C-alpha cells in the first residue's frame, strides 16, 4: 500500500494568514510535502517558488488560466493559446499539474459543447506532452456550489479523456463534488484510476475537512492507496476550527 501525498490548497486552507506566501510556512509546519493554489495570473510566482524551495516543498498544482470557456466552440483557438501559456508557466515554475475547468453550460446542444471540450484539450495536449505537464479536467457539482457548470459527472469526464487520448490529459476527481453528484466513489475511483491525475477532498455536507460529514474517508483513502496512483490529494476544504488542526486530523485519517 502506497503512502498518500496530501497537498493543501492555500486558497482555502490557511486563508486566515494575510500574506499568501506565508501560508506556505504553515504547510511546512504541518509536515506536508506540497501545496497548491488556483489561478496564477494574480500571484507572485517567483516568490511562491522561492518560499517553497526554501522550505523543501513541492507545488502540486495550479489552475490553467485560459481565455474564455472551454465549452464554447467559437472560443477553442483562444482557449488553446491560453492553455499553452499556462502550461509554459507551470513548466517554468515546476508545477506538474494544471487544473482545467469547462465553464458554464451554453445554449447549445450538449454534444456540441462536449466536442468543443475534446477539441480544446486535444489542441493543448501536444504542448502538455512536450513540457511534461498534466492537464486535469475537473467536474464540479451543480446541486450546491456551481449551478450552471457544464461538466458535473466523472462519467462524462472519463469519456472526454478517452476521446482526447493523451497521457498528459487526465481527470481531477474531486471526492466532495462527486459524492454530491453521483456517489459510488470507490468503484468509480478504482475502475478509472488510470485516467485520474489529481484528487481534491472535502466532506459532505459543508465542504469541511474529512471526518466531519458523511464520507467514509478512511475507506476512500485506503482504496486510493491500494491502487497505482502516485499523485497528490489536494485538501480543498473549509476548516471547522483551527486550520492546522483540520490538516492534522486529515493526516490521521489518511494514515500519513
Distance CA 121, CA 137 (A): 9
pLDDT at 33: 97
Q: Phi, psi at residue 232, to the nearest 5°?
A: -100, 155
Q: Indicate the average pLDDT of the chain.
A: 97
On the question of pLDDT at 1 being above 80, the answer is no
Domains and CATH numbers, the chain: 5-206+231-237 (3.20.20.150)
Confidence of residue 67 (pLDDT cuts 50, 70, 90): confident
pLDDT at 2: 74
Extract the runs of DSSP E, i.e. beta strands, from 2-57.
5-8, 34-36
Average pLDDT over residues 123-129: 98
List the grid coordinates of 110: 450538449
List the grid coordinates of 74: 467559437
Confidence of residue 43 (pLDDT cuts 50, 70, 90): very high
The answer to whether 100 and 135 have CB atoms below 8 angstroms apart is yes
List the grid coordinates of 115: 466536442
Global confidence as pTM = 0.97
- Alpha-carbon separation of residue 166 from 82, 118, 122, 162, 199 (angstroms): 19, 11, 8, 8, 19
Q: Give pLDDT tens digits for 87-104.
A: 999 999 999 999 999 999
Distance CA 14, CA 238 (A): 9
Q: Give pLDDT tens digits for 167-213.
A: 999 999 999 999 999 999 999 999 999 999 999 999 999 999 999 99
The answer to whether 163 and 192 have CB atoms below 8 angstroms apart is no
Q: Phi, psi at residue 85, to the nearest 5°?
A: -65, -45
Q: Give pLDDT tens digits for 139-157.
A: 999 999 999 999 999 999 9
Amino acid at each position: 500500500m502506497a503512502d498518500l501525498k496530501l497537498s493543501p490548497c492555500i486558497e482555502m486552507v490557511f486563508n486566515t494568514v494575510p500574506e499568501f506566501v506565508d501560508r506556505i510556512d504553515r504547510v511546512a509546519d504541518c509536515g506536508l510535502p506540497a501545496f497548491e493554489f488556483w489561478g496564477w495570473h494574480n500571484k507572485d510566482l517567483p516568490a511562491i517558488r522561492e518560499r517553497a524551495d526554501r522550505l523543501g516543498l513541492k507545488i502540486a498544482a495550479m489552475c490553467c488560466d485560459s481565455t474564455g470557456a472551454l465549452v464554447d466552440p467559437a472560443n477553442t483557438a483562444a482557449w488553446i493559446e491560453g492553455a499553452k501559456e499556462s502550461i509554459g508557466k507551470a513548466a517554468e515554475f515546476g508545477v506538474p499539474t494544471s487544473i482545467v475547468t469547462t465553464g458554464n453550460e451554453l445554449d447549445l446542444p450538449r454534444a456540441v459543447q462536449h466536442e468543443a471540450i475534446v477539441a480544446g484539450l486535444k489542441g493543448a495536449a501536444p504542448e502538455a506532452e512536450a513540457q511534461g505537464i498534466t492537464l486535469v479536467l475537473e467536474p464540479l457539482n451543480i446541486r450546491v456550489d456551481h449551478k450552471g457548470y457544464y461538466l458535473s459527472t466523472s462519467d462524462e469526464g472519463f469519456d472526454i479523456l478517452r476521446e482526447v487520448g493523451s497521457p498528459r490529459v487526465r481527470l481531477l476527481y474531486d471526492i466532495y463534488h462527486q459524492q454530491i453528484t453521483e456517489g459510488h466513489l470507490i468503484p468509480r475511483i478504482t475502475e478509472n484510476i488510470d485516467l485520474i491525475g489529481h484528487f481534491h477532498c472535502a466532506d459532505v455536507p459543508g465542504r469541511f475537512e474529512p471526518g466531519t460529514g458523511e464520507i467514509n474517508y478512511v475507506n476512500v483513502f485506503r482504496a486510493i492507496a491500494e491502487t497505482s496512483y502516485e499523485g497528490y490529494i489536494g485538501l480543498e476544504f473549509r476548516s471547522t476550527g483551527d486550520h492546522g488542526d483540520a490538516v492534522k486530523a486529515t493526516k490521521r485519517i489518511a494514515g500519513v
